């Protein structure tokens, strides 16, 4: 049976059985659920030499999503992909992306002021425009762009494929060897539908950049940089095609991974502001004090906005966009706290449960950004920073962490500085009924998003019109 919103089920199990560590056995697989950060750190970081493997879901394998770095087994192939990704998104190197991030955060103001009922699409466009520009030097004018539609389809297909319990082939992997003529193979039909889409998503935009490089007209991008590096370092050798294949995977993964997770965090931020107007007003007061009314926020302002930073921390804790995390796999038998953890076990740091641990976050179901501030209004280092959980643990920590944080912070500051965010009305003029319900599987999204974006003042209107695109 498919488990809907499994993160809630996992937390309920921990509460019911009063145990920090739970063992589940499904056909052919041991699963270990962790509910404390301390256990996650001990196993996934301190013992990362044996807890960094992945068991690639059978459906991902059948869909031929070989570019997905997050789901690759721990191997030399994974390390090569990880190394290349880290080189381009290292914290010391991501300033080169800030101009694009700032431009699209400001473009969002014009889009949403013209059609606030489309706030969901505008938020996704903000993120997508950044990633496509950085990855492939591609400019989009709307979410009907061919590449955007393709990625959305692949994301939907992989979400269905990885929802726990969706396909029995995950529990009975031998089913994948059945002859195709045997009826009833819904898993095979699903995979076959998405194989050409996955291939097109990976190959087509990269191929377009290769052609542009050949013609001397390629726009600056990650793909262009890696293609030229391949030719400089390996041109005319067998290693050139190997490096280009690696580069193709990394650019596709960078786009696919960031498009969903960053958009989801941004949408949950908007939802929180509409649901908690007092928090919104406090953030706007801080923006007014630091920036003043006559200009938009810029990068130098962000470090002087502790309450806004606390809101981001609380959004990531309150609604983690990967609420069950990505399971690690242990590569040898291990023992911990008297428990035997068999080789090949999936070890899941259930982010939803970790973020609602009352010892770390009292009154965990409440939205309280102030929990992260000290008596002087600065970020309190004694409170566990949820970004140290949300991006994973050990050798599998997300290498795009700081790039993603920059995306969301500049979006938050820019939007709140000029708009009051409220529930609003949909395209049919009906009031939007907001809820905190999350939908999805590996990546969760809010079921509904606010559509009310009212300029805070005449000066704010002028700022919005000044960047309208």
Strand partners, 348: 33
398 carries a ligand binding annotation: yes
Radius of gyration for the chain, computed over Cα atoms and rounded to the nearest angstrom = 23
Using CA atoms, how far apart are residues 357 and 37, in angstroms rounded to an integer? 9
DSSP run (H or E) holding 238: helix 238-275
Contact 448, 426 (CB under 8 A): no
Q: CA 450, 451, 454 angle in degrees (round to 5)?
A: 110
- Tokens coding 166: 């969706």
- Tokens coding 188: 């095979």
Using CA atoms, how far apart are residues 62 and 285, in angstroms rounded to an integer? 52
Using CA atoms, how far apart are residues 33 and 426, in angstroms rounded to an integer? 40
Alpha helices in 47-118 (DSSP H): 58-62, 76-89, 98-114
| Residue closest to 20 by CA, chosen among 348, 284, 314 | 348
Residue whose entry in the numeric block shows the structure tokens 């996704």: 124
Pairing of strands 29-34, 346-349: parallel
Residue 235 CA from chain centroid, whole number: 35
Q: CA 74, 259, 306 angle in degrees (round to 5)?
A: 95
Residue whose entry in the numeric block shows the structure tokens 């997508």: 128
Residue whose entry in the numeric block shows the structure tokens 């992997």: 173
Using CA atoms, how far apart are residues 316 and 430, in angstroms rounded to an integer? 29
Using CA atoms, how far apart are residues 51 and 25, in angstroms rounded to an integer? 19
Contact 110, 122 (CB under 8 A): no
> Exposed, middle or buried by CB within 10 Å (0-12, 13-18, 19+), for 393?
buried
- Tokens coding 364: 């965990």
Using CA atoms, how far apart are residues 369 and 386, in angstroms rounded to an integer? 12
Using CA atoms, how far apart are residues 125 and 107, in angstroms rounded to an integer? 10
DSSP run (H or E) holding 24: strand 21-26
Return binding residues for heme. 398
Return binding residues. 398
């Amino acid at each position: 049976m498919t488990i809907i919103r499994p993160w809630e089920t996992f937390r309920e199990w921990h509460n019911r059985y009063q145990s920090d560590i739970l063992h589940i056995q499904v056909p052919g697989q041991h699963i270990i659920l962790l509910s404390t950060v301390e256990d996650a750190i001990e196993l996934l970081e301190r013992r990362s030499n044996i807890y960094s493997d992945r068991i690639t879901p059978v459906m991902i394998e059948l869909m031929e999503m070989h570019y997905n770095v997050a789901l690759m087994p721990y191997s030399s192939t994974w390390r090569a992909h990880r190394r290349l990704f880290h080189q381009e998104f290292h914290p010391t190197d991501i300033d080169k992306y800030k101009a694009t991030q700032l431009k699209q955060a400001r473009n969002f103001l014009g889009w949403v002021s013209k059609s606030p009922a489309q706030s969901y699409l505008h938020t996704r466009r903000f993120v997508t425009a950044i990633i496509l520009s950085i990855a492939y030097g591609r400019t989009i004018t709307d979410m009907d762009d061919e590449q955007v539609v393709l990625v959305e389809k692949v994301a939907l297909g992989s979400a269905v494929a990885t929802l726990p319990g969706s396909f029995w082939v995950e529990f009975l992997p031998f089913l994948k060897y059945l002859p195709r003529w045997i009826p009833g193979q819904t898993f095979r039909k699903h995979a076959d539908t998405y194989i050409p889409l996955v291939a097109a998503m990976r190959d087509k935009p990269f191929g377009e950049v290769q052609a542009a490089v050949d013609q001397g007209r390629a726009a600056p991008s990650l793909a262009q940089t890696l293609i030229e590096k391949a030719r400089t370092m390996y041109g005319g050798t067998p290693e050139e095609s190997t490096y280009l294949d690696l580069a193709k995977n990394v650019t596709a993964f960078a786009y696919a991974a960031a498009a969903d997770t960053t958009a989801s965090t941004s949408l949950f931020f908007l939802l929180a502001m509409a649901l908690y107007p007092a928090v919104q007003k406090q953030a706007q007061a801080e923006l007014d004090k630091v920036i003043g009314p006559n200009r938009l926020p810029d990068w130098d302002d962000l470090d002087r906005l502790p309450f806004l930073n606390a809101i981001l921390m609380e959004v990531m804790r309150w609604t983690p966009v990967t609420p069950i995390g990505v399971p690690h796999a242990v590569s040898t038998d291990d023992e911990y706290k008297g428990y035997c953890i068999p080789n090949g076990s999936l070890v899941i740091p259930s982010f939803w449960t970790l973020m609602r641990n009352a010892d770390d976050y009292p009154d965990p179901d409440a939205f309280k950004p102030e929990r992260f501030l000290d008596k002087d209004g600065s970020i309190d280092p004694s409170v566990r920073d949820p970004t140290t959980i949300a991006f994973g643990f050990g050798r599998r920590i997300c290498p795009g962490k700081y790039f993603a944080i920059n995306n969301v912070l500049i979006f938050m500051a820019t939007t709140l500085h000029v708009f009051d965010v409220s529930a609003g009305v949909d395209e049919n003029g009906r009031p939007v009924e907001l809820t905190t319900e999350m939908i999805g599987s590996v990546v969760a999204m809010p079921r509904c998003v606010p559509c009310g974006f009212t300029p805070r003042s005449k000066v704010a209107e002028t700022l919005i019109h000044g960047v309208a695109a």
